[in-house]
Structure 1
């Protein structure tokens, strides 16, 4: 490698300008032949604007084309927005993947039958150092809402970069030890080139409360509740799951677990010792015979997912468990932007049952796993980087973080977005190029962009439905019979009560019969005339133009 022209660069393909789908690239070398390392490989989840889509993945075409120079991937922790795309994307990369034992166990537990590829997983522990090509990585243990979260101290020929991943300062965490601030201070003393840092709560003043305070508040609320208590939270929040289990035990209640993903995470956490010392949850059959005031339930569905346990409880669809007046549901979570309506629908269903809703504005039942502004200030004070690189946030979070870093006296603040290629060294940090950084989608067993998986047409179908017309012409190019028509997703009648299919069929027949017989030899022309007539008639009658497919054949 020609070190004379070497550069250290960072390029996010996801997670910068958005919450979720974290995927970062670090590169060393001259522009023509850099060696690359991936940090995190996450997903985000589709909203109603992406009908039929299962997962949203980063577009990795850039690094896929550089696969010969890709030396490895490092995962900071086992949250979906940081590791959720590995099983889907790794076959296109086939590089070693470095992660903790808990993250590896979580990855294996979510493997689907068709995902049989054997990933080259290499485990690391806190404070261990390992190499990924020209990068030397030290795993720095931090505090978050899941076991084994790490910041990465990346040593390079240009200096050191601290990639924080998700973190917070919590003096009394539910899992693990508090962040070693002396270790961070030592990093600062020895010199830190750049801090690539979490921006999630950069707009929130103060410091995040401790998980212990949430534990104590949950215990108080569960103890004084007169009926059944349901606590819903993120299934991946193992720290919160442990807090709920402790609160149920301390309030004298048995605990029931509802939701497949919740049970999966608890199985992994239990196998690795993170739930030691806590009573075993009861089964659904056992819960049915436990007095209401002696039962607590922890379940999935905090984000309004229609098929999750909480939604089924709100619809009274659970096989052996129901809620009634006097029961309470605690939302031990925050609403991810875009999920508010679905969550409110569930809340309204619960209120109709007479169930009390308890949220963070009434009692401390949730705390974020990300740093607030004073914690960010502490991090900058301890590590004293030359360059600040705000990541993991939407535009407003990134801007607030950048302003805070500048206010803390950081010499260079690099404001970047997905697809920006940031030169960290040598010289001043600056954006030197743009690379492809879009979105791909998992749709069943297939992957692709919005065009490849038919998402654009799917949106149109959701808006105005589809009409299918089958036309058969005889040997003289006249209609053999009335065409068959089927309208899906359209109103049944017009404003006067006449069948809409009949109206559209008449329009299509009229258009076909208006074509001179000789010109009907062109069956494509006949199909297009019928298609246009149906769309025009639908617009006049309904005010919308459906998708139309016309089949024309001659016998």
Structure 2
């Protein structure tokens, strides 16, 4: 078993299982970029360990329809289009819509809880779990080497909106039969107690919408069907119409309604273009952008770059939790909206969201019900994985049987014993526009320098034999200083340095370029305490 993503991070979930030379993959998700990765759209798992073995892949099991579990499927299927996809009806519908944009027609097998399927040496059994998206599944994977239970993302809401509970009876039966390795969602492992009920959010949303004097904008994940359902119901109860904003929100909710997962009250949903004709106190916008993504609807509203202009008396509800690493971006959007006069309601000042992940108390129940021989926490940053491992040990699993690893760890399961046998060196694969994997960490470093320190270019034409400057040096800067006159002092230094280099026998254009770079760099660092990107261009004249 090799996790290619999802360990030490919240996202990029992907785990590869191998038996008898055949491979099974569980989830192929994306990670969203951090602020120190400018220009990057998505981050993919590193497929390099399986790139030359794609013909051995028997199938991809998708536990649920969130981007951090399905978002990278198109990029893997580009390498081999006919890998079968297994998942629930909603999960596969969301994946198929995504693949359609990439012009890929997938091979799919719809499965549901209680169903068993054999893929080569892998005997699969699917178990219902409750999460913040309908139709989530855990998967039991059995081979002659033992049984692995992978939860995917889950919680144990005892009064779920759709009535679909995490099937603890199936967990107990699997535990009786014997679970050799338990791969368990760790996202809330460091949160004590139990995750609050999803249905506790409905009355709060209804109360906020009832009191709102003007327009209401609710931001959530574009796949959070339960939250959209609650917003539709609250709007209907107070005579408001709902308009969906954002391409992914419109697409996903259309799929959810078509499959029967979203019940739209008659006449409540309207086209966004017609919403502007309604009185301000009769409309609710349901949008994307709850994580502060710069190109999502809510951030564009905060920056006055959207046709919906936020104003005094508008109410904005952020109905989602913060993904670790997104805090600054979200608070930037909150501040922007507040400055425009909006009343911003979020998890910090009202109960408008509950997590989709099991807290420590729920995880302990699972460990006690399953009594697995070995545990390996997945899906979480390192603090989450360590907290989950501690819960496993508290429930009686020996420390020697608890594995806390990072992406690329190689774990062998044999005769009920799991042990670490290797570690692969994996990297990040960046999606930047239409390019995949062409952006390196060095490129990102250059981008960070450009964004923080600025850019200076120096152009000069030099007689390489005499060192005499035929033209220039001409110096141009961006993001460094408003007036290029600040460089008047350094131009004589560049002339002098080039002349001295020629007198000392330096006639190579590249070497002269480095002389210019060092001269300007030393001056900028000494005089301005800055380290901009310096691009010298020296031409032989």
Q: TM-score normalised to the size of structure 1?
A: 0.90
Equivalent residue in structure 1 for 2:470, among 480, 483, 499: 480
Superimposed CA distance per residue, residues 319-341 of structure 1 (whole angstroms, 9 cap, x where no aligned partner)? 2x343333322221112222222
For the residue of structure 2 that corresponds to 1:519, the secondary structure is coil
Distance 2:89 2:134 in 1: 10
The 5 A counterparts of 1:474-553 are 474=463, 477=466, 478-493=468-483, 499-516=485-502, 519=505, 521-553=507-539
- Equivalent residue, structure 1, for 2:150: 163
Distance 1:405 1:522 in 2: 65
Matched, 1:419 2:405: no
- Report the CA distance between 1:475 and its aligned residue: 8.4
- Report the CA distance between 1:434 and its aligned residue: 1.0
- Equivalent residue, structure 1, for 2:321: 334
- Report the CA distance between 1:505 and its aligned residue: 3.1
Distance 1:397 1:455 in 2: 28
Range with bigger deviation, 167-176 or 157-166: 167-176
The 5 A counterparts of 1:105-504 are 105-111=93-99, 115-175=102-162, 177-279=164-266, 280-319=268-307, 321-411=308-398, 412-426=401-415, 428-448=417-437, 451=440, 454-474=443-463, 477=466, 478-493=468-483, 499-504=485-490
CA contact (8 A) 1:487 1:501 kept: no
- Equivalent residue, structure 2, for 1:3: none
Distance 1:336 1:249 in 2: 30
Q: What stretches of structure 1 of length at least 5 have no aligned partner?
A: 1-9
- Equivalent residue, structure 2, for 1:73: 60
> Would the alpha carbon gap of residues 77 and 470 (structure 1) be closer, same or farther in structure 2, given more than 3 Å must change?
same
Distance 2:291 2:129 in 1: 26
- Report the CA distance between 1:517 and its aligned residue: 5.3
Distance 1:283 1:60 in 2: 41
- Report the CA distance between 1:150 and its aligned residue: 0.7
- Report the CA distance between 1:449 and its aligned residue: 6.8
- Report the CA distance between 1:134 and its aligned residue: 0.9
CA contact (8 A) 1:419 1:437 kept: yes
> Would the alpha carbon gap of residues 318 and 169 (structure 1) be closer, same or farther in structure 2, given more than 3 Å must change?
same
Range with bigger deviation, 163-172 or 464-473: 464-473
Superimposed CA distance per residue, residues 357-388 of structure 1 (whole angstroms, 9 cap, x where no aligned partner)? 22234432111111112211222233222222
Equivalent residue in structure 2 for 1:23, among 14, 29, 36: 14
| Number of residue equivalences | 536
For the residue of structure 2 that corresponds to 1:385, the secondary structure is coil
CA contact (8 A) 2:99 2:106 kept: no
Aligned CA RMSD, in angstroms, stands at 2.4
CA contact (8 A) 1:202 1:398 kept: yes
Distance 1:451 1:290 in 2: 49
> Would the alpha carbon gap of residues 460 and 374 (structure 1) be closer, same or farther in structure 2, given more than 3 Å must change?
same
> Would the alpha carbon gap of residues 322 and 521 (structure 1) be closer, same or farther in structure 2, given more than 3 Å must change?
closer
Range with bigger deviation, 40-49 or 401-410: 401-410
> Would the alpha carbon gap of residues 553 and 224 (structure 1) be closer, same or farther in structure 2, given more than 3 Å must change?
closer
Distance 1:176 1:56 in 2: 35
- Equivalent residue, structure 2, for 1:5: none
- Report the CA distance between 1:200 and its aligned residue: 0.8
For the residue of structure 2 that corresponds to 1:170, the secondary structure is coil
- Report the CA distance between 1:197 and its aligned residue: 0.7
Matched, 1:14 2:2: no
> Would the alpha carbon gap of residues 246 and 293 (structure 1) be closer, same or farther in structure 2, given more than 3 Å must change?
same
For the residue of structure 2 that corresponds to 1:349, the secondary structure is helix
- Report the CA distance between 1:520 and its aligned residue: 5.2
- Report the CA distance between 1:486 and its aligned residue: 2.0
> Would the alpha carbon gap of residues 179 and 452 (structure 1) be closer, same or farther in structure 2, given more than 3 Å must change?
closer
> Would the alpha carbon gap of residues 349 and 277 (structure 1) be closer, same or farther in structure 2, given more than 3 Å must change?
closer
For the residue of structure 2 that corresponds to 1:38, the secondary structure is strand
- Equivalent residue, structure 2, for 1:7: none
Range with bigger deviation, 514-523 or 230-239: 514-523
Distance 1:54 1:314 in 2: 20
CA contact (8 A) 1:421 1:433 kept: yes
Superimposed CA distance per residue, residues 494-519 of structure 1 (whole angstroms, 9 cap, x where no aligned partner)? xxxx7134334333222112233583
Distance 2:161 2:49 in 1: 40
Range with bigger deviation, 440-449 or 511-520: 511-520
Range with bigger deviation, 129-138 or 350-359: 350-359
> Would the alpha carbon gap of residues 492 and 286 (structure 1) be closer, same or farther in structure 2, given more than 3 Å must change?
closer
Distance 1:549 1:346 in 2: 35
CA contact (8 A) 2:373 2:416 kept: no
Q: What stretches of structure 2 of length at least 5 have no aligned partner?
A: none
> Would the alpha carbon gap of residues 536 and 332 (structure 1) be closer, same or farther in structure 2, given more than 3 Å must change?
same
Distance 2:361 2:327 in 1: 28
For the residue of structure 2 that corresponds to 1:98, the secondary structure is strand
For the residue of structure 1 that corresponds to 2:285, the secondary structure is strand
Superimposed CA distance per residue, residues 64-111 of structure 1 (whole angstroms, 9 cap, x where no aligned partner)? 233343332211111111111111233235533323332232223234
